[in-house]
Chain A
Amino acid sequence: AQRVTQPEKLLSVFKGAPVELKCNYSYSGSPELFWYVQYSRQRLQLLLRHISRESIKGFTADLNKGETSFHLKKPFAQEEDSAMYYCALSPSYGKLTFGQGTILTVHP
């Protein structure tokens, strides 16, 4: 069975500092990986998917198959980045398995 682990429930950084939200997964095949973000009082929205290899709002995430990780990084955090972040895995079409989520707080 697939599993997604986000080891940090809470993460606090200061504005301008680098931030890394960790995500590890377990799955025997080649999964599709995502990062979702939920800002206060807003719906869950897609931030990144590894297949796109793009940078959104300054965030990037690299799939490391050797370490089975998909950490989310941003070199300079902004206050508006404060939100709940979920890492998710799709082993087959459509079925997302979510991690427990990390609440990121960026202090001024």
Chain B
Amino acid sequence: SAVISQKPSRDICQRGTSLTIQCQVDSQVTMMFWYRQQPGQSLTLIATANQGSEATYESGFVIDKFPISRPNLTFSTLTVSNLSPEDSSIYLCSVEKLGVTYGYTFGSGTRLTVV
């Protein structure tokens, strides 16, 4: 299966600032996704990162708040902008590789605390 390196693993940020999270995969993957897991909640899909084009956002998530880049088939970044305490969550990168039956692989997550 694909090996995902997600950085940083955790961070504490001041409100009003931004945090950029990186997701690096050890092989080319077709699909890359970003999820959010709020405290005590399940995982919610933020967006699908598309290589060479704008990300596809889910209802309730907008590009201005969560800009995403995917410059190639192995790397993506998620920025959480204009941070507020409500953004304190775990953010996870996930990938799927066409033709492989192992299913979706997840990164170790980034635990963000906004103070």
The answer to whether B19 has its CB under 8 Å from any CB of chain A is: no
* Chain B residue at minimum C-beta to C-beta distance from A41: B108
* Chain A residue at minimum C-beta to C-beta distance from B109: A43
Given contacts A86-B42, A94-B48, A99-B42, contact A46 B103 (CB under 8 A): yes
| Partner of A98 from B43, B101, B102, B108 at Cβ < 8 Å | B43
Q: What per-residue 1/0 map shows which CB atoms of A69-99 lie under 8 Å from chain B?
A: 0000000000000000010000001111111
Inter-chain contact A44/B103, CB cutoff 8 Å: no
Name the A residues within 8 Å of B33 (CB-CB).
Answer: 94-96
Most chain-B Cβ atoms within 10 A of its Cβ — which of A34, A93, A95, A96? A96
Name the A residues within 8 Å of B109 (CB-CB).
Answer: 43-44
* Interface size in chain A (residues, C-beta < 8 A): 19
The answer to whether A101 has its CB under 8 Å from any CB of chain B is: yes
Within 8 A of B (CB), among A22-44: 34, 36, 43-44
Q: How far is the CA of A51 from the CA of B104 in the complex (A)?
A: 13
| Partner of B31 from A36, A44, A49, A93 at Cβ < 8 Å | A93
Q: What per-residue 1/0 map shows which CB atoms of B10-42 lie under 8 Å from chain A?
A: 000000000000000000000101010000011
Most chain-A Cβ atoms within 10 A of its Cβ — which of B35, B92, B102, B103? B103
Name the B residues within 8 Å of A46 (CB-CB).
Answer: 102-105
* Chain B residue at minimum C-beta to C-beta distance from A54: B101
Q: Least Cβ distance of B9 to chain A in Å?
A: 11
Given contacts A43-B109, A44-B92, contact A96 B104 (CB under 8 A): yes
Which A residues contact B (CB, under 8 angstroms)?
Answer: 34, 36, 43-46, 49, 51-52, 86, 93-101
Which B residues contact A (CB, under 8 angstroms)?
Answer: 31, 33, 35, 41-45, 48, 92, 94, 96, 101-109
Q: Which 10 A-B pairs have the closest CB atoms?
A: A46-B103, A44-B106, A43-B108, A94-B31, A98-B42, A98-B43, A100-B42, A49-B103, A43-B106, A94-B96
In the complex, given contacts A36-B106, A86-B43, A94-B104, what are 7 additional A-B residue pairs having Cβ atoms less than 8 angstroms apart?
Answer: A45-B105, A46-B104, A95-B48, A96-B94, A96-B104, A97-B45, A99-B42
